[in-house]
Amino acid sequence: MRWTPGNRGNIEDMRGRSAGLRMRAAPFGIGGLVLMLLLSWLTGVDILSLLGGGGGASGPPIESVGTSGRAAGTPEEERLYDMVDNVVEDAHSTWRELLGERFQETRVRLFRDAIDSACGFAQSATGPFYCPADRRVYLDLGFFEDLQRRFGAPGDFAQAYVIAHEVGHHIQTITGIESEVRQLQSSNPSQRNALSVRMELQADCFAGIWGHHADRNAGGVTLEEGDIDEALAAAAAIGDDRLQRRGGGRVSPESFTHGSSQQRVEWFRRGFQGGDPKACDTF
C-alpha cells in the first residue's frame, strides 16, 4: 500500500497523557490500589470503574491524571501516525461519496497503555475500539506490532483493514444502525452475542468497501499487489474461533462476539468485490 503523509487533521494525539489514576478519599492505600489493578488485568474487568460507579456502598470516584499534548514518538511510531491519518482521510472520502449529506467525520485518538473514553476506562490490551458515545476511534499504535507478531498478520494493509473496520463502526453510528442494534440487544438479551457478531461482520464488510474505493479516492492511498491478501489474513487471524483456540480453550460459537475467521474473511471480501453498502446487510 502506498500513501502520502497529510496534515494529520484526523488524529487526536493523547499519547502525552499519563495513564495514572487519582482516587478521591480512597478507603484503601497504595497496596489496595495495586491489588485492584492486578485483579482488573487478570480478569479483564475494570474493577476500579465498578467501584467508582453505581449507587449504594460504592467506592470513591476515579479520574485520570496526567499531561495533555502531543508526545514525541519513535520514527516508526511517526510513520504509523501518518499512515493512520491517511487511511482515515481516505475512508472519509469514500463514505462522504457514498452517504452524501448524512456523512460525518470521525477522529482517531491515539493513546499509550490506558485511556478514559466516553465508553469507560480502556487499556491497550483491549485492542482498537470505537466509542459511539463520543464518536471516536481509540488506538494504541503498539497493537500493530501485536498484529504482526502475535497474530501473524503483517503488512500495512492489514493495519489499514483494522482502522477501516473501526471507521465502519462509525458509519453504523451515524446511519442509526448501532442504536437499533443496541435496542434489539436490550430487548432480546439471549441474542446479544449473535447481534454483536452481525455488527462486527458488517464493519468488516464496510472495511472492504473502503478497500474497493481506495484507489479512486483523493485521500492518497494506492493499493499494491498482495494488499488484499494482507487484509484477508488479518481478518482470519482475529476471528473468534482462532482466538479461542489460541487461548487454549474449545471453540464455542455461542460465545462469539465478532464472528469466525471464515465469516470475517467472507464479509470483507463481499464489501471489497462490490463496493456497495447494500451488499453488507448482515442482518
Tens of pLDDT along 145-154?
A: 888 887 777 7
pLDDT at 200: 92
The confidence band for 48, taking pLDDT boundaries of 50, 70 and 90, is very low
**Pair 256, 142 in one domain:** yes
pLDDT at 244: 64
Domain end position, chosen among 65, 99, 120: 65
**Pair 122, 153 in one domain:** yes
**Pair 94, 58 in one domain:** no
pLDDT at 29: 39
**Pair 57, 167 in one domain:** no
3-state secondary structure of 32: helix
Host domain of residue 262: 73-280
Flag whether 47 is in a domain: yes
Which of 13-17, 93-97, 228-232, 248-252 has the lowest average pLDDT?
248-252
The residue that leads in pLDDT, 64 or 37, is: 37
**CA dist list (Å): 167 to 111, 170, 225:** 17, 5, 24
Asked whether 124 and 143 are in contact (CB, 8 A), the reply is yes
**Pair 39, 146 in one domain:** no
What H or E segment, with its residue span, contains residue 43?
helix 30-43
**Pair 58, 79 in one domain:** no
The residue that leads in pLDDT, 216 or 80, is: 80
**Pair 44, 126 in one domain:** no
pLDDT at 4: 78
Q: What is the CA radius of gyration of the chain?
A: 19
pLDDT at 62: 34
Beta pairing partners, 131: 136
**Pair 53, 159 in one domain:** no
* 214 CB-side CA count, 13 A: 26
C-alpha cell at 153: 498478520
Which of 16-20, 137-141, 263-267 has the lowest average pLDDT?
16-20
Q: Does the pLDDT of residue 97 top 90, yes or no?
A: yes
Flag whether 61 is in a domain: yes
Flag whether 143 is in a domain: yes
**Pair 79, 31 in one domain:** no
- Tally of structural domains, the chain: 2
Q: Does the pLDDT of residue 21 top 60, yes or no?
A: no
**Pair 143, 271 in one domain:** yes
**Pair 44, 137 in one domain:** no
pLDDT at 7: 81
**Pair 27, 128 in one domain:** no
